[in-house]
């Protein structure tokens, strides 16, 4: 029995020693706020024990009226001394007055381009300082997008960014108790913020211009934002390249003069980011610069007559857009007639009448249908080959 008792005494001493080692220092300070207390009464007692009302190291009495955490739930205690102390008379539970709150929300402007800023203004009545939440309805649910706090006037304003799609907005406030007044939660009527779709159009005064001439592009952008920058772009090498920049006027219009390269190209107009508004582009339009320069005329045309045929040969200088040559022919009794076309620099014209004189010339034609000047004219007369008759054999 004696040995067992000794062990118990030692164990108790060890436990006490550990408790002393692990206990916090008496001078340690742990900050508290109203959310750490289940009721206003428990917060008030802690406040008084910490030195209130003359001292408030935890800042529990924000309005310095000697009452801590007035917005905490019941039970309540508003005494300035601890219960049972100098203020020994029991304090009755305060009577709470319910005050109905109202909220109004305005949005300006109510129509914006995605990315632009818009202003919200919230008015809460009664006019007290309290938290306000702005919500947007998304997929059938209200989603918080911004928070603020009203001033003593009960008003708060702010600037928000326009989202991708139109949606209703509303402002809400939660329940708050201040002193003996409980202000109810409330929500404003919903106000729709409309996200405007941007439209950009591009037209050319003439879709086809002569090589070297200027073309005029007409651009229009809505909704109108005067001074918004716009770029005219051409499709080149698989990507879009800006060829000109300007700004739209107060009607959302702009004109661009350009000198297009030879051939047909695709163009588009792009209104650029402006005061937050996201870019937008037009559909592609084609513009053609026509080649009006005809090919060079063939030279050194020669004609060699044969039996009902004439062989033609010439020299040529071919452009990149060469299409073919035209062969023209006439006789003394007929007009010029197109005989045939060819991409070669020689041609055999057959089916002619022997002993009749024929005249020929040749032209060059490009893919745009432009015809060169005529070559020099040449003349040839086909004829049958001469055969010698055998000499008669004398009989003896």
Secondary structure of the chain in HEC code, one letter for each residue? CHHHHHHHHHHHHHHHHHHHHHCCCCCCCCCCCHHHCCCHHHHHHHHHHCCCCCCCCCCCCCCCCCCCCCCCCCCCCCCCCCCCCCCCCCCCCCCCEEECCEEEEEEECCEEECCCEEEEEEEEECCCCCEEEEEEEECCEEEEEEEEECCCCCEEEEEEECCCCCEEEEEEECCEEECCEEECCEECCCEEEEEECCEEEEEECCCEEECCCCEEEEEEEECCCCCCEEEEEEEECCEEEEEEEEECCCCCEEEEEECCCCEEEEEEEEECCECCECCEECCCEEEEEECCCCCCCCEEEEEEECCCCEEEEEECCCCCCEEEEEEEEEECCCCCEEEEEECCCEEEECCCCCCCCEEEEEEEEECCCCECCCCCCEEECCCCCCCCCCCCCCCC
What is the reported pLDDT for 53?
87
pLDDT at res. 19? 28
- What are 76-120's pLDDT values in tens digits? 888 888 886 555 455 566 678 999 999 999 999 999 999 999 999
Give the pLDDT of residue 312. Answer: 97
User: What is d(CA 178, CA 198) in angstroms, rounded to the nearest whole number?
Assistant: 48
- Single out the residue of 73, 65, 72 nearest to residue 33, CA to CA: 72
**Domains with residue ranges and CATH for the chain:** 28-94 (no CATH), 98-196 (2.60.40.10), 199-290 (2.60.40.150), 299-380 (2.60.40.10)
C-alpha torsion 292→296→301→307, nearest 10: -30
Per-residue pLDDT tens digits for 176-214: 988 888 999 999 999 999 999 999 999 999 999 998 899
CA distances from 265 to 56, 202, 235, 240 (A): 78, 14, 7, 11
Of 117, 135, 140, 217, residue with least CA distance to 173: 135
Which residues of the chain fall short of a pLDDT of 50? 1-27, 88
**Per-residue pLDDT, 30:** 83
* Chain centroid to CA 108: 23
Q: What pLDDT score was predicted for residue 10?
A: 28
């Amino acid at each position: 029995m004696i040995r067992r008792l000794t062990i118990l005494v030692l164990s108790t001493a060890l436990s006490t020693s550990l408790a002393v080692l692990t206990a916090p220092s008496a001078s340690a300070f742990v900050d508290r706020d109203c959310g750490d207390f289940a009721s206003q009464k428990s917060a008030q007692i802690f406040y008084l024990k910490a030195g209130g009302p003359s001292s408030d190291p935890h800042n529990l009495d924000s309005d310095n009226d000697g009452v801590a955490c007035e917005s905490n739930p019941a039970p309540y205690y508003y005494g300035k001394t601890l219960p049972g102390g100098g203020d020994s008379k029991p304090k009755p539970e305060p009577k709470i007055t319910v005050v109905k709150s109202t909220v109004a929300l305005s949005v300006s402007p109510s129509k914006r381009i995605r990315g632009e800023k818009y202003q919200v203004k919230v008015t809460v009545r009664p006019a007290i300082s309290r938290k306000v939440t702005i919500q947007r309805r998304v997929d059938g649910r209200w989603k918080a997008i911004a928070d603020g706090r009203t001033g003593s006037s009960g008003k708060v304003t702010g600037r928000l960014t326009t989202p991708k799609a139109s949606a209703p907005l509303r402002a809400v406030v939660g329940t708050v108790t201040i002193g003996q007044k409980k202000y109810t939660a409330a929500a404003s009527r919903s106000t729709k913020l409309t996200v405007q779709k941007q439209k950009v159009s591009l037209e050319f005064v003439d879709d086809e211009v002569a090589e070297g001439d200027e073309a005029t592009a007409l651009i229009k952008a809505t909704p109108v934002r005067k001074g918004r920058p716009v770029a005219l772009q051409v499709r080149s090498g698989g990507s879009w390249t800006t060829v000109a920049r300007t700004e739209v006027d107060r009607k959302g219009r702009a004109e661009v003069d350009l000198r297009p390269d030879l051939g047909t190209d695709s163009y588009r107009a792009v209104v650029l980011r402006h005061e937050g508004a996201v870019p937008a582009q037009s559909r592609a339009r084609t513009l053609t610069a026509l080649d009006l320069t005809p090919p060079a005329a063939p030279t050194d045309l020669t004609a060699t007559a044969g039996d009902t045929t004439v062989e033609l040969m010439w020299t040529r200088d071919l452009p990149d857009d060469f299409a073919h040559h035209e062969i023209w022919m006439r006789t003394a009794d007929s007009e010029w007639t197109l005989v045939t076309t060819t991409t070669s620099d020689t041609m055999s014209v057959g089916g002619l009448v022997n002993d009749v004189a024929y005249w020929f010339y040749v032209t060059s034609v490009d893919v745009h249908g432009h015809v060169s000047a005529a070559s020099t004219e040449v003349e040839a007369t086909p004829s049958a080959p001469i055969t010698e008759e055998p000499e008669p054999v004398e009989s003896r």
